[in-house]
Amino acid sequence: DPAFRPYSFDQMVEAYREQAEALLQGGADLLLIETCFDALNVKAALAAIQEIDRQTLTTHPTRTAGITPVMISVSVGDKSGRTLTGQTLEAFYTAVSHYPVTAFGLNCSLGASELMPLIEEIDNWCGCAVSCYPNAGLPNEMGGYDQSPEEMAGQIRMMSEKGLVNIVGGCCGTTPDHIRAVAKAVHGMKPRSLSDRPCNLKDNTLKVSGLEAVTVDVKNNNFTNIGERTNVAGSRKFARLISEGRYDEALQIAAKQIEDGATIIDINMDDAMLDSTREMERFVRYISNDPAVAKAALMIDSSHWETILAGLKNAQGRCIVNSISLKEGEEEFLRKAQTIRSLGAAMVVMAFDEEGQATTYERKIRICERAYRLLTEKAGISPEDIIFDVNILSIGTGIDEHAKYAVDYIEAVRWIKNNLPGALTSGGVSNLSFAFRGNNAVREAMHSAFLYHAIKAGLDMAILNPSMLQVYDGIGPELLRCVEDVIFDRDPLATERLIDKASRMLADKSDAKTNDAAADEAPLEERLINAIVKGRSDTLERDVLEALGQYGSALEVIEGPLMTGMETVGRMFAEGKMFLPQVVKSAKIMRDAV
């Protein structure tokens, strides 16, 4: 049973709490969590230590600092630099970065020379001190260690000369002679400098992780796609697979979203017919067994608090909670935010308060402003861990009150980016087009046009189906005009025109066919460029073979029309007219063509 675990997260917390408490009572100044091979265990240890710190604050008011110094030391299985669970060191560090650790590093594992490249890698992103205490070389066939004190000391000296470490020592196979030699070798050397580094990722970028680290790159305007389909309410197929217990097939839905460009996947098990807490736990555990899915970071989506906790307590990476809000008042809001923080996750905050969901611009921004104040001033949450979702609501419904929903959303995003420093923005894009269910061409056009404008206003990420996005420039001019008139509420008849256009498109399926026929008659080069830009594979093989005949060499086909296609892709991506999932698709077509 891939979801079987001998111990639960809560049991791990309890075991760590008992030991940590005893060590601190016995006079320990610092706790070393070492030989770690699974970040989830370390998160349990940190949760336990935070619990003790909170209690100490109330029972021992003299211990004012209230934060126990902690070192974390990871052990890797091989030179790939991944833990036993397959996690990269950066993803691991990201998963434990909510605690202000004193030092992070490696122990045990391999000998010092094998650890050198990994310590060099840690140096690239580690915001705290770096430690390293290797074995005395690799074990021999008897499981013993042969490296002499001098040899080991020489290798550690090299690490230190490169300025990579702050704390060094020895693990398996080392003796007092080894430690003496190491101490002598690094005596008087300068430790790794910390002054020019972002401490504990406090450089205002949101970082999350699965097996790999995922940076939500706001500074370079890189939009982040969150896959929506692992949602029992958002995909009939996923709902059916989960209710039938076919988790392996359900995982394939996640894998497809990632393959199509999602770096985070939204998981939602809220359904009256399911035990959502149990399903969340099972699915998150299943994910950890499938590296193609586990590499992505998880967004834990539920309106049940217990279900959210189940997600957080079973994921080894750094998650995003989706969501909390002021719905049940300030106290509950802050309590949840603090728990999320102590479990190491970032959080989506919905524009919702005691009076309900914000639908107007004014209410959206006021609620977010209030939530931002509370979280940053009272709960100590870093702005980059706050992701505001100001509610993407359905437009084109024919109801007058809905007409301004899209504009209000886009303008509220702009306001947040200008007024709540460091905070991020997100939204569930497919909600926008519920009125056009059954008409995917119209829905895709609405999503692409909406995203194009929302990203310009500062939208950082969105929950969407990355397999179903259109290229902005590829939307037919009439459809685009109809869609944008509705998005911007340009005139009272806009919705009517879009509905009319939509039903004509449905009735006139030949619309698409004539388009295809026209595309088929286009000159060869245009067909190839189109295949790349639109990510279409249907006539690719035929066209590539035809080009090979005409051009005479494969290289000329590649450097000619295919590269022209890729250049167009690059330009459109830079202009925000294409999104990462589409670029991924184009790259695949290019690869197939080559």
Contact residues for ligand THG, defined by CB under 6 A: 228, 231, 234-237, 268, 301, 322-323, 348, 389, 392, 427-428, 430-431, 437, 463
Cβ atoms of residues 52 and 21 within 8 Å: yes
Cβ at position 392, least distance to ligand THG in Å: 5
Closest approach of Cβ 428 to ligand THG, in Å? 2
φ/ψ of 180, rounded to 5, equals -60, -45
* CA–CA dist 406, 391 (Å, integer): 9
Three-state DSSP at 446 gives helix
Q: Given the structure tokens 């499981």, which residue do they identify?
A: 143
Closest to 83 (Cα-Cα) out of 24, 40, 51, 46: 40
Q: Which is nearer to ligand THG, 461 or 533 (CB)?
A: 461
Considering the complex, what minimum distance in angstroms separates the CB of residue 94 from ligand THG? 21
Q: In terms of Cα–Cα distance, which of 75, 80, 156 is closest to 108?
A: 75
Closest CB to ligand THG among residues 464, 480: 464
- Closest CB 514 distance from ligand THG, rounded Å: 27
At a CB cut-off of 8 Å and minimum separation 6, what does 517 contact?
A: none
269 or 572: whose CB is closer to ligand THG? 269
Identity of the residue, 87 or 276, whose beta carbon is nearer to ligand THG in the bound complex: 276
Residue 320 CA: distances (Å) to CA of 356, 413, 564: 23, 19, 39
Question: At its nearest, how many Å lie between ligand THG and the CB of residue 444?
Answer: 11
Kindly tell me which of 302 and 376 has the beta carbon lying closer to ligand THG: 302
Dihedral over Cα of 105, 110, 115, 118: its sign: negative
Q: How many Cβ atoms from other residues are within 10 Å of residue 494's Cβ? A: 21
Query: How many CB atoms lie under 10 A from the CB of residue 190?
Result: 10
Closest to ligand THG by CB, 109 or 257: 257
68 versus 257: smaller Cβ distance to ligand THG: 257
* Nearest to ligand THG of 389, 460 (CB atom): 389
Q: What is the DSSP letter of 78?
A: S
Minimum Å distance from CB 579 to ligand THG?
Answer: 17
The total number of residues shown for the chain amounts to: 594
Distances 277 to 50, 74, 270, 303, 450 between C-alpha atoms, Å: 25, 31, 9, 11, 34
Least Cβ distance, residue 335 to ligand THG (angstroms): 20
Least distance from C-beta 453 to ligand THG, angstroms? Answer: 17
